[in-house]
Amino acid sequence: MLVQEEVSKAKVLQLGNEAVATALLHEGVRYFAAYPGTPSSEITSTAEKMAAEYNAVVHWSSNEAVALEEAAAAAIAGKFAAYSSKHVGLNVAADPLLTVAYMGVRGALVVNVADDPGMHSSQNEQDTRWYGRLGHLPIIEPIDPQTAYDLSRKAVEISHKFEIPVIFRLTTRISHALAPIEHKPPKNPPDIPFERDQKRFICIPSSSRPNKQRLNKVWERLREWVETANLWEEYDNGARVGIIASGVAAAYAWEAVAELNNQADLLIPFMTHPLPQNKIIDFLQTHDVVLVVEELDDVLEREIKLLAYENNLHTKIHGKDLLPWDGEFTFNIVLKAVKKVLNVPDSAENELSTEIPNELIIPRPPVFCSGCPHSATYFALHRVLRKKDAIYANDIGCYSLGALPPFNAADVMLCMGSSISAAVGFSETVPDKPAVALIGDSTFWHTGISGLANAIWHNANILVIVLDNRVTAMTGMQENPSAVDVPPEQRLSIEKTAEAMGAKVWTLDPFDEKAMRRAIREAVNTPGVKVIVAKRECAIVESYHLRKENKPQPPPVDVNQETCTRCGICYEKFVCPAIGFSVEENKVVIDQALCTGCYYCAVICPTNSFYTEQQSPNASIKLLPKPVDLE
């Protein structure tokens, strides 16, 4: 359980995701494949750092389907493998997932999926547990970082024992919680040689029919095994009110019961598919009222109510009638529900105070980082198309922030790679307005290429702008096929790919503002599929490379208040966190701690009022951004 304790020498402070990666390596996993996505990314990032020590292969894949296909092949070959993604990523990987469930594996395959209740960084909060029901796959749910470590190792064991993929379901609060983790001695994976088995691993109907029967038999074995596997925790306080809880909500339930003087019993199943039915039935038989505590959908509640019905039990079962259907739970939310089933008056006496006085809350809307090249791309786009009433199909990435003021460059943003396909739909149904797709470099490789192929095939009249900051930035600076840190002989080219497919292509530095405006204007007036690749390295990555090479950072700017006219271009029509306007002093101010020295503000300033400490305020030489290599 989550408890306060001293960190002993035998324990290591780790995030939940770090604990998962460590556990998998300790249990013999030697092949990792993933596509980055918050809140799952640190699993693979951690494995990447530890790979050499364990002689493990760690791949960031071009998308989730590719990642699962890689990991599945490794597991079929006899290796212990792991896949990782966020919940919506599993949608992309659903095709291989539901077929490898039929085939099974010869080594082991753990499918790590991090759900995001509350949608902190996601477009929906779908519940991954339905995939286990859909694919007849076992699901394990930890409740904190320590159980994430322990149960990850168990997941590998179960997968190998039953030759079936195991879904390991995390949520944001477990993935990103920091806790002292007790490690157990590492194991070496078994040496399982590759064996050809075409009847099992070629998914044609004549193989898939017996594979489905094989899966059903494995499922029956799993259902029998889980009854005695002791994959649960039970707290018996001799009460007539019981709670069945899973995931991080179980930790809140445990704390709520303790806060209310242990007036309820608590059962926490760690394997939530298949459930240990006999254990659940026994728990129902010994309690008059049971509260099912689970985030998001009523997955366990449905199954527990069905068990009660089939066994003619009259236990009153509560769940979503007392708990929210959406958002992530908190201690206070669970405490209120527990009070209701215990008939304890609802007061603030036991609640944690989480309210912050409004006067202490400073509004912090999300913005592009200082020096972000995406800001420059949106600025040029806005200046050219603001009067043309363009329709914008945006995509998933840092550049999604272009949907916000002052650019407002988004009319729809659906899912990874959807922008190009959506732009095609808009171009056909609203032909009198320019249709513009905005997509990032990593997203282009993820699922953008198929959309571009479709657009060229149908000769759509669209403009595709690829905002190429040469890294998968939003999820933690992971590599992608065209990232700047990929060796040149392995690095792919977005512009050459698009050109080879038949699109007219421009490749530009977004800080070259005049060239960007010129290209956008030309592209909009050219029929067919046009692609502008706005290529400049992420400011954070650029700064990292300068530090790594012991090179000085560019000096920050200051403002010549005598020539500045307060026109507002740099602080109202452009977005840079380092630039602000002081109403009290009636002047433009620079936060020099935030300024990265990109000098795009100087590019767009009509009065040449920005300068650096290396210049005089009245210097006639205009500051210019450092040129970039567009190859």
pLDDT for position 203 = 94
Write out pLDDT tens, residues 30-60: 999 999 999 999 999 999 999 999 999 999 9
Asked whether residue 364 is domain-assigned, the answer is no
Write out pLDDT tens, residues 523-573: 999 999 999 999 999 999 999 999 999 999 999 999 999 999 999 999 999
609 and 626 in a single domain? The answer is yes
pLDDT for position 624 = 72
Asked whether residue 4 is domain-assigned, the answer is no
Asked whether residue 352 is domain-assigned, the answer is no
Q: Could you give phi then psi for residue 289, rounded to 5 degrees?
A: -135, 135
241 and 222 in a single domain? The answer is no
410 and 509 in a single domain? The answer is yes
102 and 217 in a single domain? The answer is yes
Q: Are 36 and 88 in contact (CB under 8 A)?
A: no
Mapped onto helix, strand or coil, the DSSP state of residue 619 is coil
Mean pLDDT in residue range 243-259: 97
Q: Are 580 and 625 in contact (CB under 8 A)?
A: no
More confident residue, 15 or 360: 15
Give the end of a domain, one of 327, 342, 357.
342
Asked whether residue 305 is domain-assigned, the answer is yes
Q: Are 282 and 260 in contact (CB under 8 A)?
A: no
Asked whether residue 197 is domain-assigned, the answer is yes
Number of independent structural domains in the chain: 4
Asked whether residue 365 is domain-assigned, the answer is no
Give the number of residues written for the chain: 631
304 and 424 in a single domain? The answer is no
- pTM for the predicted model, two decimal places: 0.92
Write out pLDDT tens, residues 80-128: 999 999 999 999 999 999 999 999 999 999 999 999 999 999 999 999 9
Does the structure show a pLDDT above 70 at 6? Answer: no
608 and 514 in a single domain? The answer is no
Look up residue 310 and give its two tokens.
């089939």
Q: What is the rounded distance in angstroms from the CA atom of residue 327 to the CA atom of residue 23?
A: 29
Write out pLDDT tens, residues 398-453: 999 999 999 999 999 999 999 999 999 999 999 999 999 999 999 999 999 999 99
183 and 267 in a single domain? The answer is no
Mapped onto helix, strand or coil, the DSSP state of residue 139 is strand
Mean pLDDT in residue range 1-17: 67
pLDDT for position 620 = 53
Mean pLDDT in residue range 343-350: 78
CA angle 519, 437, 416 (to 5 degrees): 140
Confidence of residue 613 (pLDDT cuts 50, 70, 90): confident
Does the structure show a pLDDT above 50 at 3? Answer: no
- Give me the CATH number covering residue 279: 3.40.50.920
401 and 535 in a single domain? The answer is yes
pLDDT for position 628 = 72
Does the structure show a pLDDT above 90 at 616? Answer: no
Mean pLDDT, the chain, whole residue set: 94
Residue carrying the six token digits 């490794």: 74
404 and 434 in a single domain? The answer is yes
Q: What is the rounded distance in angstroms from the CA atom of residue 110 to the CA atom of residue 629?
A: 41
pLDDT for position 348 = 67
pLDDT for position 354 = 67
Q: Are 337 and 322 in contact (CB under 8 A)?
A: yes
More confident residue, 293 or 473: 293
Confidence of residue 9 (pLDDT cuts 50, 70, 90): low
Q: What percent of the chain has pLDDT over 70?
A: 96
208 and 142 in a single domain? The answer is yes
Mean pLDDT in residue range 575-601: 94
Give the end of a domain, one of 493, 511, 543.
543
Q: What is the rounded distance in angstroms from the CA atom of residue 37 to the CA atom of residue 475?
A: 6
Helix H or strand E segment including 84:
strand 80-86
Q: Are 536 and 373 in contact (CB under 8 A)?
A: yes
Q: What is the rounded distance in angstroms from the CA atom of residue 257 to the CA atom of residue 266?
A: 8
Does the structure show a pLDDT above 90 at 70? Answer: yes
Task: Please list, in sequence order, all residues whose beta carbon lies within 8 angstroms of the beta carbon of residue 551, skipping any fewer than 6 positions away.
Answer: none
Write out pLDDT tens, residues 382-401: 999 998 999 999 999 999 99
Q: Which domain does 508 fall in, by range? A: 373-543
Mean pLDDT in residue range 209-235: 97
219 and 263 in a single domain? The answer is no
Q: Are 198 and 247 in contact (CB under 8 A)?
A: no
Asked whether residue 361 is domain-assigned, the answer is no
- Give me the CATH number covering residue 179: 3.40.50.970
Q: Which of 113, 116, 119, 20 is nearest to 67 (CA)?
A: 113
Asked whether residue 265 is domain-assigned, the answer is yes
Write out pLDDT tens, residues 261-297: 999 999 999 999 999 999 999 999 999 999 999 999 9
198 and 248 in a single domain? The answer is no
- DSSP letter for 573, please: I
Q: Which of 56, 140, 119, 124 is nearest to 90 (CA)?
A: 124
pLDDT for position 82 = 98
Give the end of a domain, one of 180, 209, 226.
226
